[in-house]
Amino acid sequence: MKYRGNAYRLLESYDVKVGDRIVVKTRDNEYRGILMPRYELADDLHLVIKLRNGYNVGISVDEILSILLEERAREKDREEVVIGGREKKEKEEERDGSVSVEHNATRLAMISTGGTIASRIDYRTGGVRAALTAEELYSIVPELSSIAAIDAEVLMQEYSENLTPMHWSIIAERVGEKIYEGYDGIVIAHGTDTMHYTSSALSFALQNLPVPVVLVGAQRSSDRPSSDAAANLIGASLFAANADASGVFIVMHNGKSDDRIAVHIGTRVRKNHTSSRDAFKSIDTEPIALVDVDSSRIDMMLELNVRRRRDKARRPIVRTRFNEHVALIKFYPGLDPSMIEHLISKGYRGLVLEGTGLGHVSKGCFNAIRDAIDSNMLVCMTSQCIWGRLRMTVYETGRDLLSMGVVPLDMLPETALVKVMWVLANSSSMDEAKSMLLSNMAMEFK
Active-site residue set:
116, 192-193, 271
**439 contacts a copy of itself (rule: CB under 8 A):** no
CA distance 113 to 135: 18
**334 contacts a copy of itself (rule: CB under 8 A):** yes
Q: Where are the beta strands (DSSP E) in 11-99?
A: 21-26, 30-35, 46-51, 56-60, 64-71
CA distance 231 to 218: 9
Among residues 161, 177, 286, 299, the one that binds a copy of itself under rule CB under 8 A: 161
Stretch that binds a copy of itself, among 138-146, 204-212, 235-243, 414-422 (CB under 8 A): 414-422
Cβ-based burial of 175 (10 A; exposed 0-12, middle 13-18, buried ≥19): buried
**226 contacts a copy of itself (rule: CB under 8 A):** no
CA distance 399 to 391: 9
Stretch that binds a copy of itself, among 7-15, 56-64, 272-280, 290-298 (CB under 8 A): 272-280
Cβ-based burial of 311 (10 A; exposed 0-12, middle 13-18, buried ≥19): middle
Query: Identity (one letter) of the amino acid at 367?
Result: N
Report in angstroms how near the CB of residue 342 gets to a copy of itself at its nearest. 4
**129 contacts a copy of itself (rule: CB under 8 A):** no
**395 contacts a copy of itself (rule: CB under 8 A):** yes
Q: Is 96 helix (H, G, I), strand (E, B) or coil?
A: helix
CA–CA–CA angle 201, 307, 280 (5° rounding): 40
Check residue 375 and report its DSSP letter.
T
Report in angstroms how near the CB of residue 192 gets to a copy of itself at its nearest. 6
Q: Is-contact 381 345, C-beta < 8 A? A: no
**363 contacts a copy of itself (rule: CB under 8 A):** yes
**386 contacts a copy of itself (rule: CB under 8 A):** yes
Report in angstroms how near the CB of residue 338 gets to a copy of itself at its nearest. 6
Among residues 91, 297, 389, 399, the one that binds a copy of itself under rule CB under 8 A: 389
**169 contacts a copy of itself (rule: CB under 8 A):** no
Please identify, using beta-carbon distances, which residue of 146 and 157 lies nearer to a copy of itself: 157
Burial 93-116 (b: 16+ CB within 10 A, else e): eeeeeeeeeebeebbbbbbbbbbb
Report in angstroms how near the CB of residue 193 gets to a copy of itself at its nearest. 4
Burial 197-217 (b: 16+ CB within 10 A, else e): bbbbbbbbbbeebbbbbbbbb
Report in angstroms how near the CB of residue 444 gets to a copy of itself at its nearest. 16
Among residues 362, 375, 426, 427, the one that binds a copy of itself under rule CB under 8 A: 362
Query: Identity (one letter) of the amino acid at 437?
Result: L
- The contact mask relative to a copy of itself for 181-200 (x = CB under 8 A, - = no) is -----------xxx--xx--
List residues near a copy of itself by CB under 8 A: 159-165, 167-168, 192-194, 197-198, 271-276, 279, 322, 324, 326-336, 338-339, 342, 346, 354-364, 383, 385-391, 395-397, 414, 417, 421
